[in-house]
C-alpha cells in the first residue's frame, strides 16, 4: 500500500458504459469515501482499482475485458502492484465463467452486490472489518453540475434483442424516500440538473403496492428541486408509459423540462412484434403529435435500430421516413448486434454486416440532418443554460454550458465566449449561431423571466 501506515488506502474507479454505470460508480465512490478510503488520481497512486464494466453489446463486453487486461498488463509491467476488482454488468452476465477466464482479477462484484463494495475492497486489501460500513449517510458523491439518479433497476420487457433483463434482473423500483434523499443530497452538493434514469422509467412504482407512479414521484421531486432553481429531466420512457397523468406533469411542473426520450427502436408493426415490442407507425406518430400538442415546446429524443433480423429494405426505408416525418430533435442510432442468450440472436434472416452498416449510415444521416436542423432552429432564442465548466483550450477561455433542451452528455453544448459565471450558475443567453449540435450564446444583460423554461 502507498504512503505512511496511517494514510488511508486509495481506490481508482474506471467507469465504462452508460449513465446507469456512472450512477453505480458514484454510489460505490461515496461508500468507499465514507468508509475512510481516498480516491486516487490515477493508477500510479492507487492501492486498488475498480473497473465498472458494460455488457450491453458484445462489443462493450470485449471493451470491458480489454480495459481490465490492459490494467492487469500495467500491473505486470510494474506500474503498481494493485488488485483489480471487476464490477457491474460483465460479472452479472458471465459471473460463473469469469474467475477461470480472468485470473488477473482479485474479485468480481455483480450489479446487485455493489452496495457491499467496502467489504470486498477491505477483503482484497486484507484490511480489518471485511464488511460494508456506514452505508447510511451520503448516497452519492459526484462532481459536476448535473447528476443521473436511478429510480429503478432491471427490466421486465424482454425485448428480443436485449440482454439487459438477464444482466440487471427483473424491474425493481427504488423507494421514493431514498430517491428524494439522494436528490436533496445532490442539490446540496451544488448539482443543478437531476436526470432520472432507469431501463423503463414510465412504469416506475408498478412493481410495489405502496410506491407512487412516475408522475406522482415527479411532483414530489419538483417540490424539492424548485427552491434550488434546479431542473429535472426524465430519460428512457417507453411509449406505453405515457399516461395522461404523466403528460399533465410535463405540462405543469416548473422544474420538469419539456424533454422526452422515448426509444422506439423501430416503427414497423411487424418488426416491433419480432422485437417483442408493441406499436405501429400510426399509434406512435399519434403519441408524438399529442406530446407536441399538449406540452408546449416539447423536445423529442428517440433511439432507432438498423438491421434487425428479417428487416426488409422497405421496412428500413419506412423507419427513415418515420423519423423524418415525426421530426425528432435527437435520434441515437444502433446497429442490431446478436447478443448471446437473446432470442433475436437465433432468428433466421440475419441482415448481412455490409447491408446493416449501409442501413445504419442512412439512419445516421437522417439523425444528423434532423439534429442539426433542430439545433439551428434555436438560433435567435433567449434561453436558460446551466454553466458546466470552462474550456481552457481556446483563447480567451470560454464557458461551456447546456440549455434546457440539451441533455447532458448527449445533445451538444452552448459555447459562451464572453462573460463570467461560476460553474453551476444558471444564465440567460441569446443564442446567436450554431454548428452541428453546438450553439453559441451571448449572455443577456438581465434575465427575462417570461422566456425561461423549466
Ligand atoms: S425496454 Fe427492452 S431494450 Fe430497454 S432494457 Fe428493457 S428489454 Fe432492454
Task: Output the domain CATH number for residue 89.
Answer: 3.40.50.12160
- Distance (angstroms) between ligand 1 centre and the Cα of 252 equals 29
Look at residue 79 in the predicted model and tell me its pLDDT: 59
Q: How many CB atoms lie within 10 A of CB 323?
A: 21
Nearest CA to ligand 1 atom 8: 162
Look at residue 128 in the predicted model and tell me its pLDDT: 66
Does 344 reside within a domain?
Answer: yes
Does 133 reside within a domain?
Answer: no
The answer to whether 451 touches 424, Cβ cutoff 8 Å, is: no
- Distance (angstroms) between ligand 1 centre and the Cα of 237 equals 11
- In a shared domain, residues 308 and 369: yes
Single out the residue in 60, 94, 125 at which a domain terminates: 125
Look at residue 136 in the predicted model and tell me its pLDDT: 39
- In a shared domain, residues 315 and 209: yes
Look at residue 141 in the predicted model and tell me its pLDDT: 56
- In a shared domain, residues 256 and 348: yes
Does 365 reside within a domain?
Answer: yes
Look at residue 138 in the predicted model and tell me its pLDDT: 47
Q: Which residues have a Cβ under 8 Å from the Cβ of 362 and sit 6 or more positions away?
A: 306, 316, 320
CATH code at position 421: 2.40.50.140
- Distance (angstroms) between ligand 1 centre and the Cα of 164 equals 6
- In a shared domain, residues 174 and 235: yes
- Distance (angstroms) between ligand 1 centre and the Cα of 199 equals 6
- In a shared domain, residues 316 and 392: no
Does 130 reside within a domain?
Answer: no
Pocket test for ligand 1, best of 54, 154, 155 (most atoms within 8 A of CB): 155
**Which of 121, 160, 151, 122 shows the shortest CA–CA distance to 266?**
160
Look at residue 1 in the predicted model and tell me its pLDDT: 43
Binding-site residue numbers are 18, 54, 89, 155, 159, 162
**Ligand 1: residues within 6 Å at CB?**
155, 157-159, 162, 164-165, 199-200
Does 140 reside within a domain?
Answer: no
Classify residue 4 by burial, with Cβ atoms within 10 Å: 0-12, 13-18, 19+: exposed
**In sequence order, what DSSP letters do the residues of 180-191 get, joined into one string?**
HHHHHHHHHTT-
Single out the residue in 125, 157, 179 at which a domain terminates: 125
Single out the residue in 316, 349, 376 at which a domain terminates: 376
Does 141 reside within a domain?
Answer: no
Tell me the three cell numbers of residue 390.
470552462
- Measured CA to CA, the distance from residue 165 to residue 111 in angstroms comes to 12
- In a shared domain, residues 342 and 224: yes
- In a shared domain, residues 93 and 204: no
Classify residue 188 by burial, with Cβ atoms within 10 Å: 0-12, 13-18, 19+: exposed
252-272 burial: b if 16+ Cβ within 10 Å, else e: ebebbbbbbbbbbbbbbbebb
Pocket test for ligand 1, best of 89, 199, 237 (most atoms within 8 A of CB): 199
- In a shared domain, residues 390 and 354: no
Look at residue 325 in the predicted model and tell me its pLDDT: 97
Nearest CA to ligand 1 atom 4: 199
- In a shared domain, residues 112 and 150: no
**Which of 119, 86, 93, 112 shows the shortest CA–CA distance to 16?**
86
Question: Which atom number of ligand 1 is nearest to the Cα of residue 276?
Answer: 2
Look at residue 80 in the predicted model and tell me its pLDDT: 64
- In a shared domain, residues 170 and 69: no
Residue pLDDT tens, the chain, 454 long: 444 345 688 999 999 988 788 888 988 998 999 888 999 988 888 889 999 998 877 888 888 888 888 888 877 776 567 889 999 888 988 877 788 888 888 899 988 888 889 999 988 888 765 444 444 344 555 567 999 999 998 999 999 999 888 888 899 999 999 999 999 999 998 899 999 999 899 999 999 888 899 999 999 999 999 999 999 999 999 998 899 999 999 999 999 999 999 999 999 999 999 999 999 999 999 999 999 999 999 999 999 999 999 999 999 999 999 999 999 999 999 999 998 889 999 999 999 999 999 999 999 999 999 999 999 999 999 999 999 988 877 777 899 999 999 998 889 999 998 777 888 888 999 999 999 999 999 988 654 444 444 3
Domain coverage including residue 386: 382-451
Element (H, E) at 117: helix 117-125
- Distance (angstroms) between ligand 1 centre and the Cα of 99 equals 28
Nearest CA to ligand 1 atom 1: 157
Nearest CA to ligand 1 atom 2: 159
Total domains in the chain come to: 3
CATH code at position 154: 3.80.30.20
- In a shared domain, residues 389 and 366: no
**Which of 34, 122, 121, 31 shows the shortest CA–CA distance to 84?**
121
- In a shared domain, residues 299 and 438: no
Binding-site residue numbers for [4Fe-4S] cluster are 18, 54, 89, 155, 159, 162
Amino acid at each position: 500500500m502507498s504512503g505512511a501506515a496511517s494514510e488511508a488506502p486509495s481506490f481508482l474507479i474506471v467507469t465504462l458504459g452508460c449513465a446507469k454505470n456512472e450512477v453505480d460508480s458514484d454510489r460505490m465512490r461515496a461508500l468507499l469515501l465514507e468508509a475512510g478510503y481516498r480516491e486516487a488520481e490515477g493508477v500510479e497512486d492507487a492501492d486498488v482499482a475498480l473497473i465498472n464494466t458494460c455488457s450491453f453489446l458484445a462489443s462493450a463486453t470485449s471493451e470491458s475485458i480489454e480495459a481490465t487486461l490492459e490494467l492487469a498488463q500495467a500491473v505486470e509491467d510494474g506500474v503498481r502492484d494493485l488488485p483489480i476488482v471487476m464490477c457491474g454488468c460483465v460479472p452479472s452476465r458471465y459471473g460463473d465463467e469469469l474467475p477461470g477466464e480472468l485470473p488477473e482479477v482479485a474479485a468480481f462484484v455483480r450489479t446487485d452486490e455493489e452496495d457491499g463494495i467496502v467489504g470486498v475492497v477491505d477483503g482484497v486489501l486484507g484490511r480489518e472489518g471485511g464488511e460494508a460500513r456506514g452505508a447510511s449517510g451520503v448516497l452519492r458523491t459526484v462532481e459536476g453540475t448535473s447528476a443521473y439518479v436511478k429510480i429503478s433497476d432491471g427490466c421486465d420487457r424482454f425485448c428480443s434483442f436485449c440482454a439487459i433483463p438477464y444482466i440487471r434482473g427483473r424491474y425493481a423500483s427504488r423507494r421514493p424516500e431514498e430517491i428524494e434523499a439522494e436528490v436533496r443530497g445532490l442539490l446540496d452538493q451544488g448539482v443543478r440538473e437531476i436526470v432520472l434514469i432507469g431501463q423503463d422509467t414510465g412504469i416506475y412504482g408498478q412493481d410495489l403496492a405502496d410506491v407512487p407512479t412516475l408522475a406522482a414521484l415527479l411532483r414530489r421531486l419538483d417540490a424539492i428541486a424548485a427552491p434550488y432553481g434546479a431542473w429535472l429531466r426524465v430519460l428512457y420512457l417507453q411509449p406505453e408509459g405515457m399516461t395522461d397523468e404523466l403528460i399533465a406533469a410535463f405540462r405543469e411542473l416548473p422544474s420538469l423540462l419539456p424533454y422526452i426520450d422515448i426509444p422506439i427502436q423501430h416503427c414497423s408493426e411487424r418488426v416491433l412484434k419480432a422485437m417483442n415490442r408493441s406499436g405501429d407507425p400510426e399509434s406512435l406518430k399519434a403519441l408524438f403529435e399529442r406530446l407536441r400538442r399538449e406540452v408546449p415546446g416539447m423536445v423529442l429524443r428517440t433511439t432507432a435500430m438498423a438491421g434487425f433480423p428479417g428487416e426488409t429494405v422497405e421496412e428500413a426505408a419506412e423507419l427513415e421516413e418515420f423519423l423524418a416525418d415525426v421530426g425528432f430533435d435527437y435520434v441515437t442510432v444502433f446497429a442490431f448486434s446478436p447478443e448471446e442468450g437473446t432470442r433475436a440472436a437465433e432468428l433466421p434472416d440475419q441482415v448481412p454486416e455490409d447491408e446493416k452498416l449501409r442501413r445504419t449510415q442512412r439512419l445516421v444521416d437522417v439523425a444528423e440532418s434532423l439534429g442539426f436542423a433542430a439545433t439551428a432552429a434555436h438560433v435567435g432564442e433567449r434561453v436558460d443554460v446551466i454553466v458546466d465548466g470552462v474550456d481552457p483550450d481556446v483563447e480567451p477561455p470560454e464557458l461551456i454550458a447546456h440549455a434546457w433542451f440539451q441533455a447532458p452528455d448527449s445533445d451538444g453544448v452552448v459555447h459562451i465566449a464572453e462573460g463570467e459565471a461560476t460553474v453551476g450558475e444558471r444564465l440567460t443567453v441569446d443564442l446567436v449561431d450554431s454548428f452541428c449540435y453546438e450553439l453559441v450564446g451571448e449572455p443577456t444583460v438581465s434575465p427575462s423571466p417570461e422566456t425561461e423554461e423549466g
